[in-house]
Amino acid sequence: MSRHVLITGSSTGIGRATALHLSMNGWTVHAGVRRAADGQALEREAGSSLRSIVLDITDASSVASAAAELQQRVGTAGLGGLVNNAGVCFFGPVETVPIDEWRKQFEINVFGHIAVTQAMLPLLRSGVVASGTAAIVMMSSIAGRVGQPILGPYCASKFALEAVSDALRCELAADRINVSILEPGAIKSEIWRKAQEDAQSMDRDNPAYERYRIIMMGLPRSRWRRSKERSPRSAWLARLNGV
């Protein structure tokens, strides 16, 4: 019997590659997207094993609506897996990134994942009853292990996500819900293209531009790889299956 998995941030990058990969490997994928058109494109590519669901992880009503819709879809089978993948990167020196952008960074990369996890835990527990185990996969980053200049907000959010995940792993162990963290390195995806655009749009007359210019323009582009080439395919399945 096919098991159900919810993947947030499935429109592009790692989320999209993961949704397509799992849909071809025995999972019924519920691909979280913010725009219905992105979900329809995924459905056309993946076929009947993937269904999109509109989900903005920073919007409480959207999270609640998605949980209710998923309950209708999966019934007593529950969710076998939750992949908290959605994320953004606010790019710039700690000195110059506005506090509002710091808050948005954490709202999406940390608080949004907590909100989704809280909402989906009843469905994950149903998945344990139906199949014996369930799994939560948190998409972190190597930036969650090593702080890096100009990526301070992003690194801080990933460090926080890892702390939350460590606590959650201990709390849910007795419920047979496995919690895993994935820490990819540099991957060519939309999140970094957008970060580069933010850096390039910085006011050249800003004193901070000259001070940090060399570091800001130094993302190692030559080391990027396409997400579909670098995504840890076997790792997703291993973690979702509790290996």
Residue 232's Cβ-count burial label (10 Å; 0-12, 13-18, 19+) is middle
- The pLDDT, as a whole number, for residue 152 is 94
pLDDT, mean of residues 187-201: 64
For the 3-240 domain, the top CATH level (class) is alpha beta
Domain boundaries, the chain: 3-240
The proportion of the chain whose per-residue pLDDT surpasses 70, expressed as a percent, equals 77
Are 64 and 114 in contact by the 8 Å Cβ rule? The answer is: no
pLDDT digits (tens, 9 = 90+) for 76-120: 999 999 999 999 988 888 988 899 999 999 999 999 999 999 999
Q: Note if 212 is an active site residue.
A: no
Find the radius of gyration of the CA atoms of the chain: 18
Active-site entry in 90, 154, 159, 212 = 154
What is the rounded (10 degree) CA torsion for 5, 238, 135, 108?
Answer: -70
Write out the two tokens for 215: 């570091």
Lowest mean pLDDT among 71-75, 131-135, 184-188, 231-235: 231-235
pLDDT digits (tens, 9 = 90+) for 215-226: 666 544 433 344
- The pLDDT, as a whole number, for residue 229 is 41
- The pLDDT, as a whole number, for residue 157 is 97
31: left (phi over 0), alpha (psi -120 to 50) or beta: beta
List Cβ neighbours of 105 (8 Å cut-off, separation of 6 or more): 88, 89, 90, 153, 154, 156, 157
- Kind plus residue range of the DSSP H or E element containing 81: strand 81-84
